[in-house]
Structure 1
Amino acid sequence: AAAAAVAAEKAVAAAAVAARAAAAVEPAAAVEEAAAERAEAAVVEEAAVPRVGEAAGRQGDGRKGSMPWQVEDDDDDEEEEEDGFESVTVNVRGQGNKRITIRTSALEEKETACTMLKQYAQDLGEGFFPYVEQVAQVLVPLISFQYMDDIRVSSAQAMPYLLHASIKAREADMTDDGFIAKLKDYIYAPLFQQLKTEPDTDTLAMLVDVLTEFIQHGDESLPSRMNAEQLTEALNLCHELMKESMERRAGKANENAEDADEDDEDMDPAESEEILVQNIVESLGALIKIFKSSMLTVFQNKFGPELQSMLKPDAVDSDRIAALCIVDDVIEHCSADGGSAPLIPVFLPILKGHALSEAVGVRQAAAYGLG
């Protein structure tokens, strides 16, 4: 028994030594693993950066080259379409039938290049800064590219990352505030213009999401913040987009009422409008967070009627949630300086009433404001 006890004691001691050894090795292994990850990231960055210039160069060449479509007389001969091309025949008054051929492969290559540049800017941070100006000159005009919505979206989605790379470069003393302000101004003008004219609702929603990301950078860098003129234009734009969305949905509701006997399972338009309004609200929330009470008067005058309509008991849940989120943002970001104080008597009964809603999302948004 004594021998067994001694053996057990030795086994416990050996286990303790092994545990201490493992504990000593594990941090070292973790350090080595972290170092390996950093080295791998450095290698990836070193390999990726030279490709940025190549991708931007190809995009620039494509922008200056021939258009990805051609128009020719239709000779009525059946021709098999080549891979990477699509054709359609239309009748042009006074000119007869014309065949329009689109080189879809060129558009797909352009979209892929835009996505690559966006990904490089996102992953490399300030390491991408040497290419920011060149890439901006290539991608900004493509925000209004009319032949493919994916190209418009990919180009626009790269913009916040270009600005972020420049902000990080400024923190590393690689550039100055003037460059950031100039880049911000260079991007905002075409982005605003495309938001005014974008015909596709899904694409419009994604562009508004880009606007929100761009606005949010103004919270981390003063030079990237909207100036007074840009703020006014952004508010006008958000108001117009929200108003147009509500009008489209009202028109769709009337059509559905007239065609009540017909089966209509296509809910995509309504869902697209809901996403668009949600993204507009996110943009407004970002503006409220940055500019706080200084924009409350203009905000109330411009969006008051729409918010009242969205908060009606018979409004759809998504509209009530969106409007309540705006109320929440005003309370959260405009209370420190007392700006929201006059509005509390107005907001309180609204929040209390919606806190009793049967819809979970509505209750949650109202409860957040009450909290």
Structure 2
Amino acid sequence: MAEQQQFYILLGNLMSPDNDIRKQSEEAYDTIPGQTKITFLLQAIRDAACVEEVKTMAAVLLRRLLSSSFEEIYPGLTVDMQTAIKTELVTSIQTEASPNIRKKVADIAAELCRNLLGWLGDIRYAACNAIGQMATDFAPTFQKKFHDKVISALLQTMEDQTNPRVQAHAAAALINFTEDCPKSLLIPYLDSLVQHLHVIMVAKLQELIQKGTKLVLEQVVTSIASVADTAEEKFVPYYDLFMPSLKHIVENAVQKELRLLRGKTIECISLIGLAVGKDKFMPDASAVMQLLLKTQTDFNDLEDDDPQISYMISAWARMCKILGKEFQQYLPVVMGPLMKTASIKPEVALLDTQDMENMSEDDGWEFVNLGDQQSFGIKTAGLEEKATACQMLVCYAKELKEGFVEYTEQVVKLMVPLLKFYFHDDILLMGAPESMPLLLECARVRGPDYLTQMWHFMCDALIKAIGTEPDSDVLSEIMHSFAKCIELMGEGCLNSEHFEELGGILKGKLEEHFKNQELRQAKRQDEDYDEGMEETLQDEDENDVYILTKVSDILHSVFSSYKEQVLPWFEQLLQLIVQLVCPSRPWADRQWGLCIFDDVVEHCSPSSFKYAELFLRAMALSLCDTSPEVRQAAAYGVGVMAQYGGENYRPFCTEALPTLLGVIHSPDAKVKENVNATENCISAVGKVMRFRPECANVNEILPHWLSWLPLNEDKEEAVHTFDFLCDLIESNNPIVLGPDNANLPKIFQIIAEGVANESVKSEDACSKRLANVIRQVQGSGGLWTQCVAMLNETQQKAIQDLLNTA
């Protein structure tokens, strides 16, 4: 550290106006070995505490070093050091706040690439690597800026049949590019991409048959899969071009050395099927399923490290998504190997230093130092496959629902213990927690006794995991899962012991939330506080707020299931929730505190009014808060007070109405960041008029309210507004219909826009009512013609869709 500080002083002295000081510094700089210079210069560039002038000098010197002394220094560096230099440069480009420094670091990276191109031999091979890396690191900006140059260059390079290594790396770069490329950018190139990929695939397939070479073909198959995955339904016209050859590869590439090619082709077929959809894929589905079944039948003969295993597991899940309920017939074949993979148990050991020396990370072991010359070791082989298998079980439960019921017992016995599986994040982030409510949904078909038994097996484990899980990302998933389970199971799913334990845990989470905020504020007063620390503190704050949202989710599920009978239990948390809505708290605290009180009003009214003095003033102030999220939560609260709150909330609804109208009429009400809050205000005004008409001058407000419809962003509130609109039309409200039904064309437009924007869906109860309104006008001849004439083509289609489905 001291040496680095001395180096910073040296860099500063190189910029000194004093000739003697500058000359002495240059002489001292020249004596530093090249590798040490690189290390110190990189550190200076990356150090957030280093002043910009010194960082600038470091960047200039490093570029000059790589330009003038590359051959003398770089080849002599270790591979780890070379990798570290590349990583540091890319990281700096991504994270550096100063545009000046970021540009200079980019210049260094360009200089390094220029030198590496010559040093590695083939300029194109290295360029493909660089393009592929940039496509991943700088997505999607890289794709948006350079799509016209990159795609054509990579396709041209892939055609060089005399240089397979360059071809393979060009195909790999194309995979990276298309994976993160916005669909709209890729579509104009789709025809050219597909034709090139097909020509290359056919040539490389012949090469495989004649010479046995497979590297380029593996990459091309994955490129095809990536393009199809991004293009989705736009890939339909090209389906028949590829599917016969791909099926041929799966059928015939049975040799051991072709396992990876076969696995990638299986992946490609399933991704294409998912992209083009069931209708297009069905004629081939049976043949593809038979190929997969044949491979699956031989599954027990495959070696544990066979790459086909993970590709097969993922492919089955995609086939399930494509076939839907029709996939159920294949479960007896699929589930055995899948459960075997999902049940893999990692090998673990407590090791001393001597033991560690006899083991290597190359053998698949990873180590965590426990101090006192001891380490915890885990053999990671198979964990990726285990995580993938758990995710596939989640997929089957989600897609098949009651069709998966035969397997729920064995899957839940696998998943519940995995709530304490700390060896692989994906198992906890995308596997075990997510599966719980899905498995309950599957089990419903067997009746309440079976469902209750399954829930009892889960419940204690979920609550304990919420209380003990240290990782905030995993914790949030477990809390979300628990909330979903409560909603699904409903009243009676928690006993008194559960409530007691859960109450203590939630209280602890809220207290920890406030304590962490105080600690962060204290750190901001520390003498070491800088931009880097602030970035860390903001990340911590975001994690804490996300946990707060999950506390809100759990309370929402409890209130919606138990209603007012849960209020005595809630009172242990009440003062902490009141603390959240204090005007001095950060906006996120106020938002989620208000959301919790919204739930109290919505699900516990009129009993909720006994707490009104604790939150009504905060609700009123929040209606015109500077934060749109807070305004939205407050406006929603006014709506539920009108709808559910009862007589006691009437004065507040009357008082809040002018503020709601003021927010709606504000000049920036419809800008992107404000639109959700504004739509909640519009919905709240509608609920006041509908459920508390004595609080509003309905005749005066109605024409304005009609002009604000439809709501396009908040779909849930949009349904409320359409329900009220149906009430008004069905009661022949003269203000809404207008003289001689003059407002009907406008009403048609509102309905059409709502359907086109999916603010109204066929499953919504109001869709049938809206369709009946349309049908009544249909029989009126001239009025129907007049209404339809006011609609554009999209709106006319939406009206027809509504009539066909509702």
TM-score of the superposed pair, with normalisation by structure 1: 0.77
- Name 2:436's counterpart in structure 1: 159
- Name 2:589's counterpart in structure 1: 319
1:76 and 1:303 map into 2 onto residues whose CA distance is: 49
Deviation at 1:127, TM superposition (A): 1.0
Is this contact kept in 2: 1:52–1:120, CA < 8 A?
Answer: no
2:438 and 2:423 map into 1 onto residues whose CA distance is: 24
Corresponding residue to 2:521 among 234, 253, 264: 253
When residues 91 and 235 of structure 1 are mapped into structure 2, their CA distance, relative to the original with a 3 A threshold, is closer
Corresponding residue to 1:196 among 457, 467, 477: 467
- Other structure's SS at 1:312 match: coil
1:143 partnered with 2:414: no
Is this contact kept in 2: 1:68–1:104, CA < 8 A?
Answer: no
For residues 1-371 of structure 1, what are the structure 2 equivalents within 5 Å?
40-48=323-331, 50-60=333-343, 62-63=344-345, 67-69=347-349, 71=351, 73-74=353-354, 81-82=361-362, 84-87=364-367, 92=372, 97-98=373-374, 100-153=376-429, 154-167=431-444, 169=445, 175-219=446-490, 225-259=493-527, 261-263=529-531, 264=533, 265-266=535-536, 267-299=538-570, 301-335=571-605, 338-371=606-639
Is this contact kept in 1: 2:359–2:365, CA < 8 A?
Answer: no
Deviation at 1:321, TM superposition (A): 0.4
2:561 and 2:364 map into 1 onto residues whose CA distance is: 47
Is this contact kept in 2: 1:68–1:107, CA < 8 A?
Answer: no
Deviation at 1:107, TM superposition (A): 2.4
- Name 2:75's counterpart in structure 1: none
2:352 and 2:617 map into 1 onto residues whose CA distance is: 66
Per-residue CA shift, 1:271-300, capped at 9, x if unaligned? 11110001111110111111111111221x
When residues 252 and 70 of structure 1 are mapped into structure 2, their CA distance, relative to the original with a 3 A threshold, is same
Is this contact kept in 2: 1:68–1:106, CA < 8 A?
Answer: no
- How many residue pairs end up in the alignment? 320
When residues 120 and 68 of structure 1 are mapped into structure 2, their CA distance, relative to the original with a 3 A threshold, is farther
- Greater Cα offset, 148-157 or 286-295: 148-157
Deviation at 1:364, TM superposition (A): 1.3
- Other structure's SS at 2:525 match: helix
Deviation at 1:313, TM superposition (A): 1.0
- Other structure's SS at 2:624 match: coil
Q: Please tell me the residue identity of whatever aligns with 2:497.
A: E
2:434 and 2:323 map into 1 onto residues whose CA distance is: 27
Q: CA RMSD in A?
A: 2.8
1:340 and 1:79 map into 2 onto residues whose CA distance is: 63
- Other structure's SS at 1:102 match: strand
Deviation at 1:324, TM superposition (A): 0.3
2:335 and 2:548 map into 1 onto residues whose CA distance is: 35
2:358 and 2:349 map into 1 onto residues whose CA distance is: 19
Unaligned 5+ segments in structure 1 are: 1-31, 170-174
When residues 75 and 234 of structure 1 are mapped into structure 2, their CA distance, relative to the original with a 3 A threshold, is closer
2:375 and 2:620 map into 1 onto residues whose CA distance is: 62
Q: Please tell me the residue identity of whatever aligns with 2:566.
A: M
1:308 and 1:358 map into 2 onto residues whose CA distance is: 20
- Other structure's SS at 2:351 match: strand
1:246 and 1:349 map into 2 onto residues whose CA distance is: 22
Deviation at 1:103, TM superposition (A): 1.9
2:559 and 2:369 map into 1 onto residues whose CA distance is: 50
- Other structure's SS at 1:330 match: helix
Q: Please tell me the residue identity of whatever aligns with 1:281.
A: S
Is this contact kept in 2: 1:86–1:103, CA < 8 A?
Answer: yes
Deviation at 1:108, TM superposition (A): 2.0
- Other structure's SS at 1:86 match: strand
2:438 and 2:356 map into 1 onto residues whose CA distance is: 49
Is this contact kept in 1: 2:578–2:615, CA < 8 A?
Answer: no
Q: Please tell me the residue identity of whatever aligns with 2:422.
A: Q
Identity rate of aligned residues, in percent? Answer: 26
Deviation at 1:68, TM superposition (A): 4.1
When residues 73 and 127 of structure 1 are mapped into structure 2, their CA distance, relative to the original with a 3 A threshold, is same
Deviation at 1:249, TM superposition (A): 2.5
1:209 and 1:123 map into 2 onto residues whose CA distance is: 20
When residues 364 and 144 of structure 1 are mapped into structure 2, their CA distance, relative to the original with a 3 A threshold, is same
Deviation at 1:180, TM superposition (A): 1.0
1:39 and 1:210 map into 2 onto residues whose CA distance is: 26
Deviation at 1:228, TM superposition (A): 3.6
Per-residue CA shift, 1:47-98, capped at 9, x if unaligned? 34532333223434x34xx634563543796986326433466653xxxx45
When residues 351 and 39 of structure 1 are mapped into structure 2, their CA distance, relative to the original with a 3 A threshold, is closer
Q: Please tell me the residue identity of whatever aligns with 1:136.
A: V
Per-residue CA shift, 1:332-371, capped at 9, x if unaligned? 1112xx2123334543322111112111111111111112
Q: Please tell me the residue identity of whatever aligns with 1:105.
A: A
- Name 2:795's counterpart in structure 1: none
Unaligned 5+ segments in structure 2 are: 1-277, 286-320, 640-806
Q: Please tell me the residue identity of whatever aligns with 2:553.
A: E
- Greater Cα offset, 143-152 or 109-118: 143-152
TM-score of the superposed pair, with normalisation by structure 2: 0.37
